[in-house]
Structure 1
Amino acid sequence: MSADSFLPPPVPPADDLPLVLVVDDEVRSQDAMRRTLDEDFRVLTAGSADEARDWLQRQEVDVILCDQRMPGQTGVAFLKEVRERWPETVRIVISGYTDSEDIIAGINDAGIYQYILKPWVPDHLLQTVRTAVEARHLQRGLSRLELDLRAGAPALRERRQRRLGEARAAFDFERIVRAPGSPLDGVCDMAARLARYDLPVLILGESGTGKELLARALHYASPRHAGPFVLENCAAIPDTLLESELFGHKRGAFTGAFEDHVGLFQRAHGGTVFLDEIGETSPAFQVKLLRVLQEGELRPVGSPRAVPVDVRVVAATHRQLEEEVRAGRFREDLYYRIAGVTLQMPALRERPGDVAPIAQRLLQDVGAELGRPGLRLGDDALACLVAYPWPGNIRELRNEIARAIALSEGAELPAAAFSPRVLRGRAGTRLPDPAGQPGLPASGTLQERLEAVEAMVLREVLLRHRWNKTRAAAELGLSRMGLRAKLQRLGLDEAPFHAGASA
């Protein structure tokens, strides 16, 4: 440890120390207070109110310590004048008398900060003055902030309106990525019409289909767009905490409730609450939620009073709630309360035409996040993505894009960068062997028939080249890696090698 570490902290210059004025007609009291305070403050002394008034007219004083019983004018009467002429100066009365009328007058008329009784304790006096100086500095800072806010109110309003406009543009229904003629068009059109009306909306759909994105678009298209949009995943926390999170609680309501907590419903007052995975809640919680929705008020946990709330509820779930109602797992009355209008989000496999534009957008966004902007998808990679059924929907597609970016090099993502399950295309499908079943399949979707034709061509070329993939790739105009990706996607990578086959 260096010698410097034993040195006392540096003392600020005398001109930078706060200024304290001691007003007392007893010289010994003046000296005692000066000795107590002079290490931390600059100290002025006055023997009367007139002398103190002269100091105040010449100096900006931070704190006044004034004796109550003085000849000519009492301390409270003088500090009342100080309050009117120098209101920022913190006023402290020191007295040897406990006259309640003096104390009340000091508080009401002079606005004193503290009333200290004699004999005072040096440490207590010093700490009281330190706190008074800090309070003065905070008050001055607050006054400046209020002035700044008052002067900047138009700019703040303009900035708020600009940010609100940006949010509305970012979550507009037209910004939900989809191809022309997508099955999602009808859902977005209906949601846009519903947005104008203050009706509860239930959004159904598998996990990862974009239910939250639709809920945000609905909020920002509604008359409540200037209010908050808050969301809660009801499946993420247990029921015992969900009630507190949504409705709030009072201090001491349960173990660990060390302070009051304002729930999401109160925070969303005037806006929208999005309850995701509402089908995972228990019947006990459903009863409490139903009461809030019916009465328009809630009671925080541990509070005897109800609090009115004005929110629009948008709920979502991957379950078919009508079936849950019939099975007795979801309350029928709550179902009809939240399902004013029901919107069904189609799964990604039901709108294969949307895969390409969504993948392109995700490639831009994720590429920028990972520090690799400007990437593009190769034709074979895009065909591979379109062929896969995406059981995890858009969330799975995003993860697959991120994986491919991390594992690939160059500006174009090849199909080989995707995971094996995606490369195999439609899970469980085995395409016909052209050697045993020549010709086009007699049934199946257009995509399945196209894949069957592609598989037939690949198998024929490979057989002709005795499964030499280098020569087959050259004939087909593919790279060896591109050929391997197509074989994996079409399930041909597992085909047995014929006699004399070579890699």
Structure 2
Amino acid sequence: MSLNHNVNDARILLVDDDENLLRLMTLRLEGEGYQVDSVNGGKDALKMLNTHSYAAVLSDLRMPGMDGMTLYEEIVALRKDIPVILMTAHGTIEDAVSATQRGVFGFLTKPISHDSLRELLSNALKQRQSAAREDWCAHIITRSVQMEQLLDQAHRVAQRDVSVLISGASGTGKELLARALHKASKRADKPFVAINCGALPENLLESELFGHSKGAFTGAVNAHAGLFREAEGGTLFLDEIGDMPIPLQVKLLRAIQERQIRPVGSTKQVPIDVRIISATHKDLAQEMADNAFREDLYYRLNVVNLKLPTLRERSEDIPLLARYLLEQSAERHDVEANRFSDDALQMLATAPWPGNVRQLVNVVEQCVALTHTPVIPVHLVEQALSASEQKWPTLTEARDAFEHSYLLKLLKMTEGNVTRAAELAGRNRTDMHKLMKKHSLQSADFRQEAVAI
């Protein structure tokens, strides 16, 4: 699963005490499409490495103060993933062997051959990107060109600390991509905190996000820090952001703009340093048109949009994913299942997969649970597919279905009297009208029905 290297995204740090060589090498590298920063000593190089991100370091071996090998050791202590190439006019085979044994990526002898420099840098960056892929998104299994392009874009975006909106159908792996983005970012050593914005009622969601002070409401016997502060320095993943109530959208927008929050029941503002990654399966453009999602918040969250394809759109990945999931599931359940039969794999590859990767995971799990043989037969796949097509709703879908059914019964019982319905539901009239609007229910329809009966 290789990444295509694009030198225009690669920034090189050039270190040499020879000003003339720095100018010449800078021109050469910029001519190849690289972005170049140059410094004339190891100490200045370390300062740059502390404040900038580099794809590779190209350094002289013999320099006054801090030589190239000492600089290399400092770089390894700081960032193990940056390839270092050393240059010297006094190179010997012994120097080169010693340097490479200690982990230096390559060794160039002055005068520098343009072809050797180009090849060594290209190989260094390809290896770094390949290693980075293994590290940051090892659990995203793909050979799809569409997914490879998406992951290339995601890796670049991860470095830039901007807000990202991940869109795509349910079950396509939005949280998996969000975790990968966090792992590839400069915040990787800080917390990744996730919450489903559609899984909690508005008052609880506000408390979960922003925290609350002791005694802020009934039951608040202790202060609660909230997820923004739990994610301090790291990433806060807001799943199903399209389900967030409008009043909370206003508070979230303020928190992003001001980079501070106010816990429920508190008068004090708390500064925050959090990267926001959000996700939705909804069409937010339509939600904005329906006044269900704030346009100003949308543009704050959607600095970069990453759209995950459906499983059918990456159908070449189905056999690959099925084998991977089988291996994982069999190991987890201690079952001696090691492959699908040819016709079973064919059935998997041609199924419609409305539930995407999540559905595939469930199908494989069921096959592993029921198999009595190392080779999973086609009838088990057919049985699991049939069961999975009876789609199990998400928590948000189940809650919405219950809410709709509850309102129908309530309005029928009160013959469309919104005040009486609100009293029975323990809500105020404003809340009741909002709920009715959400479910496209009109009180007049129930009054007419009552007359007709």
TM bucket, shorter chain: 0.5 to 0.7
Shift of 1:395: 0.9
Aligned amino acid, residue 177 of structure 1: I
Cα deviation for residue 171 of structure 1 reads 5.7
Preserved CA contact (<8 Å) 2:336 2:373: no
What displacement does 1:209 show? 0.5
Residue correspondence of structure 1 range 176-195 to structure 2 within 5 A: 176-179=140-143, 181-195=144-158
Counterpart CA distance in 2 for 1:342 and 1:377 is 36
In the alignment, what sits opposite 1:221? 184
The one of 286, 299, 302 equivalent to 1:336 is 299
CA distance in 1, matches of 2:371, 2:384: 17
Answer yes or no: is the 8 Å Cα contact 2:363–2:388 preserved in 1.
no
What residue in structure 1 maps to residue 360 of structure 2?
Answer: 397
**2:316 partner letter:** G
Structure 1 vs Structure 2 CA RMSD: 2.5
**Equivalent position to 2:137, from 173, 192, 207:** 173
Alignment of 1:289-308 (within 5 A): 289-308=252-271
SS in structure 2 of the partner of residue 372 of structure 1: coil
Q: Which amino acid aligns with 1:208?
A: G
> How does 1:85-104 map onto structure 2 within 5 Å?
none
Deviation (angstroms), 1:176: 1.2
Tell me the CA shift for residue 205 of structure 1.
0.6
Matched residues in 2 for 1:258 and 1:355: separation? 50
TM-superposed deviation, 1:331: 0.3
Q: Match of 2:140, as an amino acid? A: I
Query: Structure 1 residues 302 and 349 mapped into 2: Cα distance closer, same or farther (>3 Å)?
Result: same
1:355–1:385 CA contact under 8 A, matched in 2: yes
- In structure 2, the CA distance between the partners of 1:397 and 1:246, relative to structure 1 (3 Å rule), is same
Q: What is the CA–CA distance in structure 1 between the aligned matches of 2:280 and 2:148, rounded to whole Å?
A: 20
Following superposition, the deviation at residue 170 of structure 1 comes to 6.9
Tell me the distance in 2 between the aligned counterparts of 1:185 and 1:170: 13
Separation in 1, partners of 2:383, 2:197: 34
Q: Deviations over 1:67-98 (max 9, x none)?
A: xxxxxxxxxxxxxxxxxxxxxxxxxxxxxxxx
Distance 2:387 2:373 in 1: 23
1:4-60 C-alpha deviation (Å, 9 max, x unpaired): xxxxxxxxxxxxxxxxxxxxxxxxxxxxxxxxxxxxxxxxxxxxxxxxxxxxxxxxx
**Inter-partner Cα distance in structure 2 for 1:426 and 1:233:** 24
Q: In structure 1, what residue type is equivalent to 2:319? A: A
Q: Secondary structure at the match of 1:191?
A: helix
AA of the residue aligned to 2:364: I
> Which amino acid in 1 is paired with 2:142?
R
**Which structure: larger Rg?**
1
CA distance in 2, matches of 1:424, 1:257: 43
- Matches of residues 410-489 of structure 1 in structure 2 within 5 Å? 410-420=373-383, 422=385
| Amino acid aligned to 2:263 | P
- Cα distance in 2, alignment partners of residues 425 and 275 from structure 1: 27
Structure scoring higher RCO (CA < 8 A, sep ≥ 6) equals 2
Residues 252-271 of structure 1, C-alpha deviations (whole Å, 9 max, x = no match):
00111110111110011111
2:387 & 2:251 partners in 1: Cα distance?
A: 48
Separation in 2, partners of 1:176, 1:425 = 22
1:321 aligns with 2:321: no
SS in 1 for 2:278: strand
Shift of 1:352: 0.8
Q: Output the CA distance in 2 between the equivalents of 1:173 and 1:325.
A: 32
Tell me by how many angstroms 1:308 deviates: 0.2
Q: Which amino acid aligns with 2:173?
A: G
CA shift, 1:174, in A, is 5.0
Deviation at 1:373, TM superposition (A): 4.5
Following TM superposition, where does structure 1 have runs of at least 4 consecutive aligned residues deviating by more than 6 angstroms? 423-427
1:384 aligns with 2:377: no
Confirm or deny: 8 A CA contact 2:340 2:375 kept in the other structure: yes
In structure 2, the partner of 1:348 is: 311
**Residues 382 and 425 of structure 1: is their aligned pair in 2 closer, same or farther, counting only changes over 3 Å?**
farther
Task: Please state how far the C-alpha of 1:289 moved relative to its aligned partner.
Answer: 0.6
Q: Is the 8 A contact 1:404 1:418 kept in 2?
A: yes
- Farther off after superposition, 413-422 or 324-333: 413-422
Provide the rounded CA distance (Å) in 1 between the counterparts of 2:386 and 2:377. 11
Give the Å deviation of 1:423: 6.7
Contact 1:388 1:426 in 2 (8 A): no
- Aligned ranges 1:12-23 → 2 under 5 Å: none
Deviation (angstroms), 1:418: 2.1
Aligned partner of residue 145 in structure 2, secondary structure: coil
User: Who is 2:419 aligned against?
Assistant: none
Whether the aligned pair in 2 keeps the contact of 1:325 and 1:332 (CA below 8 Å) is yes
State percent identity of aligned pairs: 46
Structure-2 residue corresponding to 1:88:
none
2:218 paired residue number? 255
Once the two structures are TM-superposed, the CA of residue 422 in structure 1 deviates from its matched residue by: 3.1
Q: Match of 1:260, SS?
A: coil
CA change 1:341–1:372 in 2 (3 A) is same
Residue matched to 1:368:
331
Q: Which residue in the other structure is 1:359 paired with?
A: 322
Distance 1:365 1:418 in 2: 17
TM-aligned CA distance change 1:201 to 1:373, over 3 Å = farther
Whether the 8 Å CA contact 2:233–2:274 is kept in 1: the answer is yes
* Equivalent-residue separation in structure 2 for 1:426 and 1:244 (angstroms): 37
1:369 CA displacement: 1.5
**1:283/1:331 contact within 8 Å kept:** yes
Tell me by how many angstroms 1:342 deviates: 0.4
User: 2:375 corresponds to which letter in structure 1?
Assistant: E
Matching residue's letter, 1:172: W
CA deviation digits over 1:294-351, x for unaligned, max 9? Answer: 1000001111100000000000000111111112110000000100000100010111
| 1:260–1:360 distance in 2 versus 1, CA, 3 Å | same
| Distance (Å, rounded) in 2 between the aligned partners of 1:414 and 1:346 | 29
C-alpha distance in 2 between matches for 1:196 and 1:288: 27
Distance 1:374 1:241 in 2: 44
User: Is contact 1:364-1:373 (8 Å) kept?
Assistant: no
Secondary structure of the 1:249 match is coil
Deviation at 1:182, TM superposition (A): 3.3
> Structure 1 regions of 5+ residues with no counterpart?
1-157, 162-167, 428-503
SS state of the match for residue 195, structure 2? strand
Report the residue type matching 2:282 in the other structure. Answer: R
Distance 1:258 1:421 in 2: 47
Pair 313,425 (structure 1): closer, same or farther in 2 beyond 3 Å: closer
Q: Structure 1 residues 190 and 397, CA, compared in 2 at 3 Å: closer, same or farther?
A: same
* Alpha-carbon offset, residue 371 of structure 1: 1.5
Q: Distance in 1 between matches of 2:218 and 2:359?
A: 39
